[in-house]
Amino acid sequence: MYGVRRTNTNNVADDVISRLGAMGLVNEILDELPPELRLVLFARRGIDMSVAEVMAHFGLTEDQVKKRTKEALARAQAIAHEKGLLP
């Protein structure tokens, strides 16, 4: 994927399974975030919205978007550590 050509279908299947597993872990972490943090984090990192797009969509200031993104990432990392998902 992303410019790498794969020819072995076993590798593709393993990659898909790995990505689905990772998505499950991400959803588990996101579910524990407060909605105002979860929405901004998903918009910024999940669907790659710009700060300006998030500002317009949610009616937030630039500072609010940046602070919520930073706080959400810190909380997500803490949750992952608590659940033993990160070393």
pLDDT tens figures, 45-86: 889 999 999 999 999 999 999 999 999 999 988 988 888 877
pLDDT tens per residue, range 7-33:
554 566 555 555 555 566 778 888 899
Q: Which residues contact 43 (CB under 8 A, 6 or more apart)?
A: 49, 53, 54, 57, 58
- Report pLDDT for 23: 62
pLDDT of residue 27: 80
* Cα-only R_g, the chain: 16
Rounded to the nearest 5 degrees, what angle is found at the Cα of 28, between the Cα atoms of 50 and 79? 85
Residue-level pLDDT at 80: 86
Multiple choice CATH, 26-82, 3.20.20.100, 1.10.357.10, 1.10.10.10, 1.10.3720.10: 1.10.10.10
